[in-house]
Chains A and B, each alone.
Chain A
Amino acid sequence: MAFEGLTHKLQETFKKLRGKGKLTEKDVKEAMREVKLALLEADVNYKVVKDFINSVSQRAVGQEVMESLTPGQHVIKIVNEELIMLMGGRESKINISPKPPTVIMLVGLQGAGKTTMAAKLALHLKKSNKSILLVAADVYRPAAIKQLQILGGQIDVPVFTLGDRANPVDIAKAGVENAKKNAKDVVIIDTAGRLHIDQELMEELQNIKSEVEPFETLLVVDAMTGQDAVNVAQSFNEKLDITGVILTKLDGDTRGGAAISVKAVTGKPIKFAGVGEKLSDLEIFYPDRMASRILGMGDILSLIEKA
């Protein structure tokens, strides 16, 4: 495995240096080469990696190596802490408006997992006794409305639709009106997948947003996304001022470096993780777990935590 490689390489690099007092510039530089490769292999964006390595190196040089750790482990400890910080430090909850209904809008690229996530969120909130309305505002993808209706049916949550001939802005607006009339606590709007460079469709989202003033605008990102994650996240954030991110398909074996990239360019918290196709496959996003995953070194980290 790639990460065992990282641990192994770092151990090798530092074998000679065991118990050597302070971390020197040379130690750190050698270790950072390996860390850099690990992060790139995990699909963290190149520029983000570069910035990260620079700032971590600065912090690491001159630090006293803990008695119980090798210099390699000590560098990893620092890298791990910084990664967790970079991803927001701790978990972040979904915000519920004091003035119901709370409108939540899901946006993102094609196939990221928005429709599935709309239903997952509905189920999640339903468990805390919220009444929910799902709104089908994707009129482009074949059978998108039907898909949401089937998913809504599975969890017994109503789905509002005006068919696929109506305008998504009108659908969203009417959906929220409908929720108000029926005293719903939460409205979740599923939108069509779109490219961040598609001017017309990005404008459509801006129009929906200004019309229904969502309390949460969440960008749904596929965890397998590569280097382009920064462009996507930046564009969606610039145009829509998103309030958070959801990572999907984390049940795969991707290292998920996109999490770092997206957080680094938007500064917005990652709130949930999708971990399967079932509607109960939703987890709160924990930065510390994600850091271990990206570094791919659960074992060594638990060792370090004990130190």
Chain B
Amino acid sequence: MGWFEKLKEGLTKTRDNLTQKVEAIFNFTSELDDDFFEELEEALIVADVGFNTTTAIVEKLKKRIKEKKINQIQEAKDELKNIIVEIMRGDKNIDIIPPKTPAVFMVVGVNGVGKTTSIGKIANFFKSRGYKVMMAAGDTFRAAAIDQLEVWGQRCGVEVIKQKEGADPAAVVFDAIQSAKARKVDILICDTAGRLHNKKNLMEELRKINRVIEKEGRDFYKETLLVLDSTTGQNAIHQAKEFIDVADVNGIVLTKLDGTAKGGVVIAINNELNIPVKMIGVGEGIDDLQAFDPEMFVDALF
């Protein structure tokens, strides 16, 4: 099953509600009046888009409807999709493939969103495309986090650089970069411990890891991926803001889209902060990772 089918299947229940709702609006309202826009707002909020972004989208749609003299239901619907796709794509780079190698990926995010699992999947993604990949067990804090990454290492046949539980994560990353250089690795992916963005000391620790990567990995192309759980509501915006403050986040991995949550908050994040979604997680298996496709995402949303 392709990800789109999987996504659609996963979203069926809520999607049906939403589609029915949106279609009901488009079919039973003869005019594109206030009620119509209000119902539209509801549909977007239920998808976790958030009030501010929802309002912005609806305002934009109203303007377009006027400009383009839209009075057909289907046209308005298409225009709505266009607007969201524009927000999600823009002129942003949504490709995870690095423009050059060697490249180092640092993966960050709050607790339990799916960082380690996504790293396993991404390592496999690159390995199967012929890259020489290595992983760094930069979560030295959580119980059995290193063992978990090692299982992923075995699954995709990728070496894991690690130290003992409780070791300094910056030191692990330092080691890993030296090994990556010595072994001429194309892509090094660094796991980090989950941390809530409002914890000053933990965010400082991340800043330190980031500095090590910037200093030791000067010759590497650098990518920082923020992992967001699609089940998360408006707090994801705070998360994104705080993590960009610490590191130069250039992509989002949106996980758990195989559930009924639609991850609409990434629309708000793209609208406000302009960080593109690059990959999506659609399950717990090694192949349950897909490149982000804005059109399909929006289609699955409505």
Query: Could you tell me which A residues sit within 8 Å of B by CB distance?
Result: 37, 40-43, 45-46, 109-113, 140-144, 146-147, 149-151, 154, 195-197, 222, 224-228, 231-232, 249, 251-255, 257-258, 277
Contacts and interface: CB of A to CB of B under 8 A. Distances in A.
A204 to B, nearest CB: 15
Interface residues of B, number: 45
A249 B45 contact: no
A154 B141 CA distance: 13
Contacts of A251: 196, 198-199
14 contacts: A41-B51, A43-B235, A109-B256, A113-B112, A143-B147, A222-B229, A226-B261, A227-B47, A231-B13, A232-B259, A254-B233, A277-B111, A277-B141, A277-B142
A141 B151 CA distance: 10
Contacts of B232: 222, 224-226
Nearest to A112: B112
A249 B259 contact: no
A252 B259 contact: no
B148 to A, nearest CB: 4
Given A226-B265, A257-B233, 12 more contacts: A41-B51, A109-B259, A142-B151, A147-B148, A150-B144, A197-B13, A226-B48, A226-B234, A228-B231, A252-B196, A254-B233, A277-B141
Contacts of B234: 41-43, 226, 255
Contact of B14 (A146, A231, A249): A231
A147 B198 contact: no
Contacts of B164: none
B12 to A, nearest CB: 8
> Which of B45, B48, B196, B234 counts the most A-chain CB atoms under 10 A from its CB?
B234
Contacts of A154: 143
B233 A258 contact: yes
Q: Interface of chain B, helix or strand or loop or mixed?
A: loop
Contacts of A252: 110, 196-198, 235
B260 A231 contact: yes
Contacts of A46: 42, 45-46
A160 to B, nearest CB: 17
A226 B46 CA distance: 9
B208 to A, nearest CB: 19
B110 A228 contact: no
A211 B50 CA distance: 42
A37 B55 CA distance: 12
Contact of A253 (B198, B256, B259): B198
Contacts of A255: 234-235
B144 to A, nearest CB: 4
Contact of B143 (A37, A112, A147, A228): A147
Interface of B: 10, 13-14, 42, 45-48, 50-51, 110-114, 141-145, 147-148, 150-152, 196-199, 229, 231-236, 238, 256, 258-262, 265, 284
Contacts of A226: 48, 231-234, 261, 265
A196 B142 contact: no
B114 A228 contact: no
Nearest to A254: B235
A155 to B, nearest CB: 12
B56 to A, nearest CB: 15
Given A110-B114, A110-B284, A225 B233 contact: yes
Contacts of A231: 13-14, 260
B258 to A, nearest CB: 7
Given A40-B51, A147-B144, A111 B111 contact: yes
A219 to B, nearest CB: 14
Which 7 residue pairs spanning A and B have beta carbons closest together? Answer: A226-B233, A111-B112, A43-B233, A142-B151, A147-B144, A143-B147, A228-B261
B117 to A, nearest CB: 8
A93 B47 CA distance: 34
B143 A151 contact: yes
Contact of A227 (B45, B150, B284): B45
Given A150-B144, A197-B10, A253-B238, A228 B111 contact: no
Contacts of B258: 195
A222 B198 contact: no
A253 B45 CA distance: 20
A226 B261 CA distance: 8
Contacts of A258: 233
B111 A146 contact: no
Contact of B284 (A113, A140, A225): A140
Given A197-B259, A227-B46, A228-B261, A146 B233 contact: no
B168 to A, nearest CB: 18
A195 B265 CA distance: 20
> Which of A45, A251, A254, A258 counts the most B-chain CB atoms under 10 A from its CB?
A254
B260 A228 contact: yes
A231 B232 CA distance: 13
Contact of B148 (A109, A143, A224, A232): A143
Nearest to A140: B284
Given A252-B198, A252-B235, A111 B142 contact: no
Contacts of A42: 234
A41 to B, nearest CB: 6
Contacts of A37: 51
Nearest to B112: A111
A147 B233 CA distance: 28
A235 B241 CA distance: 33
B51 A146 contact: no
B259 A228 contact: yes
A3 to B, nearest CB: 13
